[in-house]
């Protein structure tokens, strides 16, 4: 994977590209499943933090028509099923926008890794097109559209580290410590649907206040299920735990360990087993996308 951070690129004048938008990774610093609703969704409590690392979306507005063209094609995925395409079409529908867009995805994040790749891409598309098309929807309206695409998308729209409850729609901004993380991807992909449908998934963790959760050891209710079903994840977590506190993010397959200093995170990463891909990144409480918007487009008007 590429190793440069968003902050490196966005702080380098010679690399200024205002039509190139960060689509950051996220970590679930904790994840608890509180129950299952009649509609099949799960109630949860989770803490999201962004990473200074991720994909990029290059967006050029089409003035001549309202077509949404996505490149490159993703094998096995129809364009109309692509979350970027769906986000753009939903925004057009909700704002009556007649413009289109050419959108190129520079894919860096692992697919099926639990670091928010698809949800982040959708969130970046919504936020960036809202600005470029001058649709000017407020963040809470964009987040409602995002929720139609997935439970994690509103977090990327809001652009601030947050405690999420319900099915992900109840959001409280917060300020967890911005630590350094080693993120590793075992050689397997995990279906979120498979994990949430697993009979042995804990679904009755008692709800707790944010204050209580922030002052308790962080855990992930999905981790035991994933460990039991995926030996590669079990192996990666056991290796990371020799160096620092480590957990599964989301439903995986990515696992992460946290460090107070970059030098320690880098030292751990250099020792990783060859079969594991991954990266080192800083935790960020403000999304790199929103930092960019303030720099290029709305320095005085854009608020999260």
From 55, 152, 179, 221, active-site residue: 152
As a whole number of angstroms, the longest Cα–Cα distance in the chain is 57
Tell me the two tokens of residue 229: 């079903």
What does the alpha-carbon distance between residue 111 and residue 248 come to, in Å, rounded to a whole number?
Answer: 15
What does the alpha-carbon distance between residue 245 and residue 259 come to, in Å, rounded to a whole number?
Answer: 8
What does the alpha-carbon distance between residue 52 and residue 285 come to, in Å, rounded to a whole number?
Answer: 10
Q: Is residue 60 flagged as an active site residue?
A: no
What does the alpha-carbon distance between residue 71 and residue 170 come to, in Å, rounded to a whole number?
Answer: 33
Q: Is residue 106 flagged as an active site residue?
A: no
Beta carbons of 70 and 103 less than 8 angstroms apart:
yes
CB neighbour class for 82 (10 Å; exposed up to 12, middle 13-18, buried from 19): buried
Active site residues: 26, 152
């Amino acid at each position: 994977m590429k190793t440069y951070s968003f902050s490196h690129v966005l702080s380098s004048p010679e690399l200024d590209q205002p039509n190139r938008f960060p689509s950051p990774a996220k970590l679930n610093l904790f994840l608890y499943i509180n129950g299952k609703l009649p509609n099949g969704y799960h109630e949860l409590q989770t803490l999201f933090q962004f990473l200074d690392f991720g994909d990029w979306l290059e967006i050029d507005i089409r003035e001549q028509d309202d077509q949404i063209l996505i490149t490159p094609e993703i094998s096995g995925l129809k364009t109309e099923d692509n979350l970027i395409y769906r986000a753009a079409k939903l925004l057009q529908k909700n704002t009556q926008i007649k413009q289109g867009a050419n959108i190129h995805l520079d894919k860096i994040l692992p697919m099926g890794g639990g670091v928010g790749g698809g949800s982040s891409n959708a969130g970046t598309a919504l936020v960036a097109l809202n600005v470029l098309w001058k649709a000017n929807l407020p963040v809470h309206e964009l987040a409602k559209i995002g929720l139609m695409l997935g439970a994690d998308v509103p977090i990327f729209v809001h652009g601030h580290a947050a405690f999420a409850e319900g099915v992900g729609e109840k959001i409280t901004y917060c300020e967890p410590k911005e630590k350094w993380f080693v993120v590793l991807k075992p050689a397997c992909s995990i279906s979120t649907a498979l994990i949430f449908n697993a009979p042995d998934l804990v679904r009755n963790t008692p709800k707790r206040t944010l204050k209580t959760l922030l002052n308790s050891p962080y855990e992930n209710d999905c981790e035991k299920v994933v460990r039991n079903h995926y030996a590669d994840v079990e192996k990666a977590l056991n290796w990371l735990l020799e160096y620092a506190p480590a957990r599964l993010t989301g439903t995986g397959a990515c696992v992460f360990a946290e460090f107070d200093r970059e030098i320690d995170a880098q030292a751990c990463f250099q020792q990783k087993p060859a079969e594991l891909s991954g990266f080192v990144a800083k935790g960020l409480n403000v999304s790199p996308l929103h930092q960019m918007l303030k720099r290029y487009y709305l320095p005085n008007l854009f608020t999260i």
